[in-house]
Structure 1
Amino acid sequence: MLNFLTSLTKRNKRVIMLALDSVLVLLSVLFALSVHGLSGTLANNFVLYMPVLPYVLLIGIGVSIWLGVCSIRLNAYETAAIGMTGVFALFLVFSSLTISNIMKTGLPLGVHLVFGAAFFSLVVISRAVLLQLVLAVYRRSKARCRVLIYGAGTTGTQLVSALRSHELIEAVAFVDDNVAIQGLTVAHLPVYNPLRIAEVAREKKINRVLLAVPSLSPPKQAQIARRLEKMGLEVQMLPSFAQLIGEEALVDKLEPVLAHRFLNRDEVTNPLIDGAGCYRGKVVMVSGAGGSIGSELCRQVLVCRPDKLVLFELSELALYQIDMELSQITDGTKIKIVPVLGSITDTRQVRKVLTDHKVEIILHAAAYKHVPLVEANPLSGLVNNVFGTQALAEQAAKAGVERFILISSDKAVRPTNIMGASKRLAELVVQDLARRHGQSGGPIFSMVRFGNVLGSSGSVVPLFQDQLSRGGPLTVTDPSVSRYFMTVQEAVKLVLQAGAIAKGGEVFVLDMGKPVAITQLARQVIESAGYTVRDANNPDGDIEIEFTGLRPGEKMTEELTLSGALLATVHPKIFAADELGLSQIEIASALRRLREAYIASDEDMARSVVHRWVEGFEAATQIRLIS
Structure 2
Amino acid sequence: MTYRTRLLLLMFLDSVIVSTALFIAAWVTYRSKDVFQLDAIVISAVALLISHHLFAAVYKLYHKVWAYASVGELLAIVKSVTLSIIVAGLVQMIAADFTLYSRALLVTWLLHVTLIGGSRFVWRVFHDRYIDGYQGQNRTLIVGAGAAGTMVARQLHNRNEHKEIRPIAFVDDDMTKQRMEMYGIPVLGRIQDVPAIVDQQQIDLIVIAIPSLANGELNTIVNICSQADAKVQLIPKLEDLLTGRVEVSSLKNVDEKELLGRAPVELDIDAISQYVSGRTVLVTGAGGSIGSELCRQLMPFQPGRLLLVGHDEFSIYQIHMELKDTYDSTATEFVTLIGDVRDKDRMYEIVQQYAPAIIYHAAAHKHVPLMEYNPHEAVKNNVIGTKNMAEAADAFNVNTFVLISTDKAVRPTNVMGATKRITEIIIQHLNQTSQTTFAAVRFGNVLGSSGSVIPLFKDQIARGGPVTVTDPDMVRYFMTIPEASRLVIQAGTLARGGEIFVLDMGEPVRIVDLARNLIKLSGYTETEIGIEYSGIRPGEKMFEEPLSDDEVHPGEVYEKIYVGRTLEVDPRLITRLIEQFSDKDDTQLKEALMTIVHTERTELAAKGS
Matches within 5 A, 1:522-601: 551=544, 555-558=548-551, 579=570, 581=572, 591-593=582-584, 596-597=585-586
After superposition, the Cα gap between the structure-2 partners of 1:211 and 1:112, relative to the gap in structure 1 and judged at 3 Å, is same
Q: CA deviation at 1:616?
A: 0.9
Aligned-partner SS, 1:321: helix
From 1, 8, 28, give the equivalent of 2:21.
Answer: 28
Contact 1:417 1:552 in 2 (8 A): no
Q: 1:182 matched to which residue of 2? A: 178
Single out whichever of 403-412 and 50-59 deviates more from structure 2: 403-412
**Paired position in structure 2 for 1:233:** 231
| Alignment-derived partner of residue 168 in structure 1 | 161
* TM alignment of 1:73-152, pairs within 5 A: 73-74=65-66, 75-76=68-69, 78=71, 79-88=74-83, 90-91=85-86, 94=89, 97-98=92-93, 101=96, 110-136=103-129, 139-140=132-133, 146-152=139-145
**Residue 377 (structure 2) aligned to one of 373, 379, 383:** 383
Q: How far is 1:209 from its partner?
A: 3.6
Residue 469 of structure 2 corresponds to which residue in structure 1? none
Matched letter for residue 497 of structure 2: L
Q: CA deviation at 1:172?
A: 2.3
Alpha-carbon distance change, 200 to 353 in structure 1, aligned in 2, over 3 angstroms: same
TM-score, with structure 1 as normaliser: 0.53
Cα distance 1:491–1:592, how it changes in 2: closer, same or farther (>3 A)? farther
Q: How many angstroms apart in 1 are the aligned matches of 2:574 and 2:151?
A: 78
In structure 1, the residue matched to 2:217 is 220
Tell me the TM-score normalized by structure 2. Answer: 0.54
Deviation at 1:221, TM superposition (A): 3.9
After superposition, give the CA deviation of every residue in 1:208-257 in whole Å (9 maximum; x if it has no partner).
444444675564245324643674423223666997389xxx99996762
- Say if 2:599 is the partner of 1:616: yes
CA deviation string 1:309-368 (max 9, x = no partner): 8945358525753798799999999x9956225573xxxxx4996899998999995764
Compare 405-414 and 313-322 and name the one that shifted more.
405-414
Q: Is the aligned partner of 1:453 residue 2:441?
A: yes
Aligned to 1:62: 54
What is the CA distance between 1:23 and its match in structure 2? 0.7
Change (3 A) 1:28 1:589: closer
Tell me the number of residue pairs that the alignment of Structure 1 and Structure 2 aligns.
Answer: 477
Q: Which amino acid aligns with 1:84?
A: K
Cα distance change on mapping 1:553 and 1:609 into 2, 3 Å: farther
Q: 1:354 to 1:219 in 2, by over 3 A?
A: closer
Label 1:583 to 1:317 Cα distance change in 2 as closer, same or farther (>3 A). closer
Distance in 2 of aligned mates of 1:556 and 1:164: 57
Identity between Structure 1 and Structure 2 (%): 17
- Checking the alignment, whether the CA contact within 8 Å between 2:283 and 2:291 is kept in structure 1 is no
Q: Distance in 2 between matches of 1:330 and 1:154?
A: 41
Secondary structure of residue in 1 paired with 2:141: strand
**What secondary structure, in the 3-state scheme, does the structure 1 residue paired with 2:173 have?**
coil
Task: Judge conservation of contact 1:293–1:488 (CA < 8 Å) in 2.
Answer: no
Partners of 1:383 and 1:222 in 2: CA distance: 39
Residues 498-527 of structure 1: CA deviation (Å, up to 9, x unaligned):
xxxxxxxxxxx9343xx87876x859xxxx
CA RMSD of the aligned region, Å? Answer: 6.6
Bigger radius of gyration among the two: 1
* Equivalent residues of 2:285, 2:361 under 8 A apart: yes
Q: Hey, what's the Cα distance between the residues in 1 that align with 2:308 and 2:59?
A: 71
User: Where does residue 197 of structure 1 map in the other structure?
Assistant: 194
- Given residue 97 of structure 1, which amino acid in structure 2 is its aligned partner? Q
Which digits, 9 at most, give the CA deviation of each residue in 1:104-163, with x for residues without a partner? 9x9976555544443443223323223323445762599766543223345544554555
Alpha-carbon distance between aligned partners in 1 of 2:61 and 2:410, rounded to the nearest angstrom: 82
Change (3 A) 1:242 1:324: closer
Deviations 1:8-37 (A, max 9, x none): 24xx54443232122113332453354346
Question: Separation in 1 of the partners of 2:240 and 2:349?
Answer: 61
Any conservation in 1 of the 2:444–2:546 contact (CA below 8 Å)? Answer: no
What's the secondary structure of 2:78's corresponding residue? helix
Structure 1 residues 95 and 61: CA distance shift in structure 2, 3 A = farther
Q: Which amino acid letter does the alignment assign opposite residue 173 of structure 2?
A: D
Question: Secondary structure of the residue that 1:257 maps to in structure 2?
Answer: coil
CA distance in 2, matches of 1:107, 1:330: 73
> What amino acid is the match of 2:548?
K
Asked if the contact 1:21–1:123 (Cα under 8 Å) also holds between the matched residues in 2, the reply is yes
- Assess if the C-alpha contact under 8 Å between 2:286 and 2:310 holds in 1: yes
**CA 1:378 to 1:174, structure 2 compared with 1: closer, same or farther past 3 Å?**
same
| Equivalent-residue separation in structure 2 for 1:94 and 1:382 (angstroms) | 96
Superposed displacement of residue 94, structure 1: 0.9
CA separation of 1:329 and 1:290: change in aligned 2, threshold 3 A: farther
Equivalent pair of 1:151/1:174 in contact (CA under 8 Å): yes
Residue among 13, 19, 44 paired with 2:12: 19
Q: Which residue number corresponds to residue 267 of structure 2?
A: 258
Structure 1: 5+ residue stretches without partners: 345-349, 435-444, 468-474, 478-485, 496-508, 524-547, 561-574, 598-603, 620-627
Q: Secondary structure at the match of 1:453?
A: strand
Letter in 1 for 2:234: Q
Inter-partner Cα distance in structure 2 for 1:117 and 1:390: 87
